[in-house]
Copies of this chain bind each other. A is one copy, B any other.
Amino acid sequence: MPQPRIIIVGAGFAGLAAAKALKKTQAEVVLIDRTNHHVFQPLLYQVATSVLTPSHIATPIRSIFRNQKNTIVIMGEVTGVDKDQKCVFVSDADRQNVSITYDYLILATGASHSYFGHNEFAEYAPGLKSLGDAEAARNKILQAFELAEAEEDPARHRDLLTFVLVGAGPTGVEMAGALAILVRTALKSDFRRIDPTSARIVLVDAAPKILGPFSENLSKAAKQRLEKLGVEVRLGHSVDQIDAEGVIVAGERIASKTVIWTAGVAPSPAGKWLNIETDRAGRVRIQKDLTVPGHVEIFVVGDTASLDQNGKPLPGVAQVAMQQGRYAGKLIHSRIVGSPPPRAFSYFDKGSMAVVGKGFAVLQSGKVQVSGLGAWLAWAAVHLQFLATSSLRLGVFLQWIWTYVTGQRGSRLIVNHHGSDKGTRSAETPLGAAAASK
């Protein structure tokens, strides 16, 4: 009898956990991802702010499964699912489609940016979901300082050195803190005509507080810390407009050449592929065993799934994704070997953390609420622990120590990828200052 085939789509936290849980299963595990690497998304903002290099937080997927012989890794883009024929359609680099049949399917396809219906914002306010995104943001931020240094008109200086971060969730907050540290350490002494420490960093959110899911106290502590670092926090108003000149918030224009979007996420099209019920955000409604109604062989896990627990939807965070992925893998294993299935999925919330600048984080776990250096050390330890391989752990650890001690960054490069940086260059800034009259 041929071995059953388990297709896992997506090698983020959920897909990786599912594949690992199937390590000893007598099955052919096919792991499909658009890229060749697993990226540790919680640290993408450190690539965007030049602390880490892409290689610090990403590992080739097939390296991770080198010794897991039942698993084959395919780089390709899934474009659809046929539930009746039990197959997925995969497109390669040339958009040629092939179909691959499955016995079990795990969709762990995650989420991308959502501009809440304002897709025209995308051009001016890129998001932060992939390594390419993070490198584009890095190029854009560093380029702003380069253009300002070469610019005579002080009015333009101001616009070039104004950075607006839309969205005050963990990514926006961590990004704002890292940017504030960047301008006052690594960049501080590197310019002659501009003072990087005069850069204006504005964090905008429609919510009344930053770090929504955290307690009032921690949210307030994080906000105070950001303000101490010089970050302007503007809450309670959504962004009305984003264009080449900046943003408009509560009727006021903030002139800026560098806007980064971390406000909203949209789930993958898994719901469309399956032609199945989704929640309002478009996430697939799954059952207690993480399968979809009527198909015991189809699992949907992570950011693209919607499951309530204690009457509330589970959040789209790494922990949920990992626990769901592992559960799906274990449940399939039990079905294949014929052992009793695990109990219904139940998310165990270990807590949440967010770092603000240097030496300060907020941590909330059950009734425990901590802020300060201790929380920051815990944050560092946990993030190192969850990196996929020991070589990444060592690399990030050494880079963090280096950056902490010297204030220097690991990767302050603007790399031109042949025409790909069009969007990262500001639209109308003459190189004025250099035309000094002698």
Contacts and interface: CB of A to CB of B under 8 A. Distances in A.
Interface of A: 2, 5, 30, 35-37, 53-55, 58, 60, 62-63, 66-67, 69, 72-76, 90-94, 96, 98-101, 130-132, 135-136, 142-143, 146-147, 149-150, 186, 189-193, 391, 398, 402, 406, 408, 410-421, 423, 425-432, 434-436, 438
Contacts of A415: 35, 54, 131-132, 135
Nearest to A37: B413
Nearest to A431: B92
B55 A190 contact: no
A145 B180 CA distance: 41
Given A143-B93, A190-B63, A191-B62, A434 B30 contact: yes
Contacts of A436: 100-101
13 contacts: A2-B438, A5-B438, A35-B415, A60-B190, A60-B413, A62-B190, A75-B150, A75-B414, A92-B430, A94-B427, A96-B429, A96-B431, A100-B434
A114 to B, nearest CB: 18
A72 to B, nearest CB: 5
Contact of A74 (B2, B130, B150): B150
B412 A60 contact: yes
A277 to B, nearest CB: 29
A414 B132 contact: no
Interface centre among A5, A35, A413 (most CB of B within 10 A): A413
Contact of A428 (B2, B94, B411, B419): B94
A425 B96 CA distance: 13
